[in-house]
């Protein structure tokens, strides 16, 4: 069945998908998969330093990972974080349109995000060097450097498998099921 993003059906089906995959898939989770995103969401929701540093934050933030077919990512991924006054209301894989329209969009190549999540690349530095692009109001985001740094730190705490670590067989298999999920959920 195909779900329309923004509807209750989509949200319910997405939650079921996450539960199913968390029960089925063994760790470490592949970066950018629904189970990885759900783990990230839980980490943010339970993190007191994040809550404290983002207590006045309002707005959606998207991590946009650019497609890299050679690495098994045949289309872009948009990971939307709905953040409000220190709460993380949700983190979801979302369709392109929804991702592009977020208040803040951080875009980068898959390798760059891998480096960020391995703590090999500082996000602030990466932005100035053009390795990661930022769309959104700079004066607002600047006030929350501590919060955004914390979000990055949390992503690096997830037991993660990266696309670059997949074998060719694993990559081909992943592309198959991920394509099927994209077709159902539009992300």
Among 67, 70, 138, 183, binds other proteins (CB under 8 A): 138
Is residue 172 within the footprint of other proteins (CB under 8 A)? no
For residue 102, the minimal CB distance to other proteins (Å) is 13
Q: How many residues contact other proteins, by CB under 8 A?
A: 19
143 is an interface residue for other proteins by CB under 8 A: yes
- Distances 89 to 45, 92, 109 between C-alpha atoms, Å: 8, 10, 26
Least distance from other proteins to the Cβ atom of residue 130, Å: 4
124 counts as binding other proteins under rule CB under 8 A: yes
Decide: is 174 part of the binding site for other proteins (CB under 8 A).
Answer: no
The correct pick among 74, 146, 164, 173 for binding other proteins (CB under 8 A) is: 146
Note whether 70 binds other proteins by CB under 8 A. Answer: no
Listed in sequence order, the DSSP H helices in the chain are 8-24, 34-45, 48-53, 96-100, 110-117, 123-128, 138-142, 145-156, 168-185
Q: By CB under 8 A, is residue 134 in contact with other proteins?
A: yes
Cα dihedral sign, 42-149-31-28: negative
Q: Report d(CA 66, CA 78) in Å as an integer.
A: 9
Q: Contact 41/88 with Cβ under 8 angstroms?
A: yes
* Chain residues that interact with other proteins, rule: CB under 8 A: 124-125, 127-130, 132-140, 142-143, 145-146
């Amino acid at each position: 069945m195909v779900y329309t993003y923004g509807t209750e059906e989509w949200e319910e089906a997405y939650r079921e998908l996450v539960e199913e995959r968390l029960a089925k898939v063994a760790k470490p989770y592949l970066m950018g998969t629904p189970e990885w995103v759900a783990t990230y969401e839980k980490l943010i929701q339970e993190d007191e330093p994040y809550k404290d540093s983002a207590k006045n934050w309002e707005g959606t933030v998207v991590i946009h990972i650019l497609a890299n077919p050679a690495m098994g990512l045949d289309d872009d991924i948009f990971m939307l974080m709905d953040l409000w006054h220190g709460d993380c209301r949700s983190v979801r894989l979302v369709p392109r349109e929804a991702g592009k329209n977020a208040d803040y969009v951080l875009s980068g190549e898959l390798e760059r995000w891998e480096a960020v999540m391995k703590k090999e690349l500082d996000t602030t530095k990466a932005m100035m060097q053009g390795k990661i692009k930022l769309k959104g109001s700079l004066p607002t985001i600047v006030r929350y450097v501590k919060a955004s740094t914390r979000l990055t730190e949390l992503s690096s705490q997830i037991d993660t498998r990266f696309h670059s670590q997949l074998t060719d067989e694993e990559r081909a298999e992943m592309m198959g099921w991920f394509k099927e999920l994209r077709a159902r959920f539009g992300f």
